Amino acid sequence: MSSGALDLRAELLNVARLFYGDVGPILRRFESLSPFELLISTIVSQNTNWKNVERAMKNMRDKGLVTVDGILRASLSELEDSLRVAGLYRVKARRIKEIAERLRSWGVGLEGVLSMPFSEARAKLMELPAVGHKTADVMLAFKSRAPIIPVDTHIERVAKRLGLVGERADYEEVRLALESFVPPQERALFHLALIKFGREVCRARNPSCSKCPLSSLCKSATSGPSGPPKASVSLS
């Protein structure tokens, strides 16, 4: 590995650490949720911001819709009404209903699944509707304290723009590349910090390259009129 690559990894870790104080409350919030609430929150968060997620989750708590039993008792229209503020509410309501039905059919709660060995728990979680690698890894990182870095679209974009992975790298390649230099005890915070960095600095549109502390090491900061390349992998 070249000295430049090592410098880039070290500097990215240093930049992420600047955000740890800001994202610490989010980490504590995630850890305070029940496994089922965190799973629902992750589904609700797709294609919306966290403010809308919190509003939708408050609606669901107020109506007793944050347990498997509560979801199964509710009508689809009740779920849709609670989720309307978060967008795509019909799709999300149907997925959450399907997840509750699947969990009930298993005869084992999420706590039981999360206590399984990593690879087994991950595979089991991914049997749930709308749960891909990212959602499963969020559950494992925040509820099982597994030393992994879930990869969302912001994290993928940052990793590819910086040249940490190739443009065609898949989810696992991005995850393993990041985990190769982030200490295990920091990975949950790093995940949240890099999302914040991607939202505020390395944005999908109009990234703030002139203000980015990594611009001198970034292969995309001077990529020409077309700007930094777009992320291409669909992550869920």
Residues 216 and 108: their CA atoms lie apart, in Å, by: 51
Task: Verify that 42 and 137 share a domain, yes or no.
Answer: yes
Task: Report the amino acid identity of residue 1.
Answer: M
CA angle 181, 187, 190 (to 5 degrees): 90
Residues 114 and 30: their CA atoms lie apart, in Å, by: 15
Q: Is residue 199 part of a domain?
A: yes
**Residue 117: what pLDDT?**
94
Task: Verify that 83 and 102 share a domain, yes or no.
Answer: yes
Is the pLDDT at 226 greater than 50? The verdict is no
Quote the distance between the C-alpha of residue 34 and its chain's center.
17
CA angle 108, 113, 117 (to 5 degrees): 145
Is the pLDDT at 228 greater than 60? The verdict is no
Res. 50 pLDDT band, cuts 50 70 90: confident
Which of 87, 115, 143 is the last residue before a domain boundary?
143
Over the stretch 4-43, which tens digit does the pLDDT of each residue have? 566 899 999 999 999 999 999 999 999 999 999 999 999 9
Task: Verify that 8 and 91 share a domain, yes or no.
Answer: no
Residues 162 and 85: their CA atoms lie apart, in Å, by: 35
Task: Verify that 160 and 81 share a domain, yes or no.
Answer: no
Task: Verify that 153 and 56 share a domain, yes or no.
Answer: no
Q: Is residue 231 part of a domain?
A: no
Task: Verify that 92 and 125 share a domain, yes or no.
Answer: yes
Report the candidate in 153, 180, 149 with the shortest Cα–Cα distance to residue 164: 180
Over the stretch 72-104, which tens digit does the pLDDT of each residue have? 999 999 999 999 999 999 999 999 999 999 999
Number of domains present in the structure of the chain: 2
Task: Verify that 207 and 185 share a domain, yes or no.
Answer: yes
Task: Verify that 114 and 80 share a domain, yes or no.
Answer: yes
Question: Contact at 8 Å (CB) between 83 and 56?
Answer: yes
- Per the prediction, the chain carries an average pLDDT of 90
Which of 143, 159, 174 is the last residue before a domain boundary?
143
Task: Verify that 89 and 139 share a domain, yes or no.
Answer: yes
**Residue 46: what pLDDT?**
86
Question: Contact at 8 Å (CB) between 164 and 181?
Answer: no
Is the pLDDT at 147 greater than 50? The verdict is yes
Task: Verify that 156 and 138 share a domain, yes or no.
Answer: no
Question: Contact at 8 Å (CB) between 202 and 37?
Answer: no
How far, in Å, are 41, 135, 173 from residue 67 at the CA level?
12, 18, 34
Q: How many helices (H) and strands (E) does the chain have?
A: 13, 0
Which whole number is the average pLDDT over 219-233?
51
Q: Is residue 222 part of a domain?
A: no
Express as a percent the part of the chain with pLDDT over 70.
91
CATH number at residue 194: 1.10.1670.10
CATH number at residue 116: 1.10.340.30
Task: Verify that 39 and 139 share a domain, yes or no.
Answer: yes
- Terminal-to-terminal C-alpha distance of the chain: 31
Domain that includes residue 98, residue range: 32-143
Report the candidate in 7, 52, 50, 26 with the shortest Cα–Cα distance to residue 190: 26
pLDDT higher at 193 or 217: 193
Is the pLDDT at 68 greater than 80? The verdict is yes
**Residue 1: what pLDDT?**
57
Q: Is residue 70 part of a domain?
A: yes
**Residue 3: what pLDDT?**
55
Task: Verify that 59 and 136 share a domain, yes or no.
Answer: yes
Q: Which of 12-21, 105-114, 161-170, 186-195 has the lowest mean pLDDT?
A: 105-114
Question: Contact at 8 Å (CB) between 92 and 45?
Answer: no
pTM of full prediction above 0.85 = yes
**Residue 146: what pLDDT?**
96
Res. 163 pLDDT band, cuts 50 70 90: very high
pLDDT higher at 135 or 3: 135
Which whole number is the average pLDDT over 128-138?
95
Which of 143, 163, 192 is the last residue before a domain boundary?
143
Residues 11 and 150: their CA atoms lie apart, in Å, by: 20
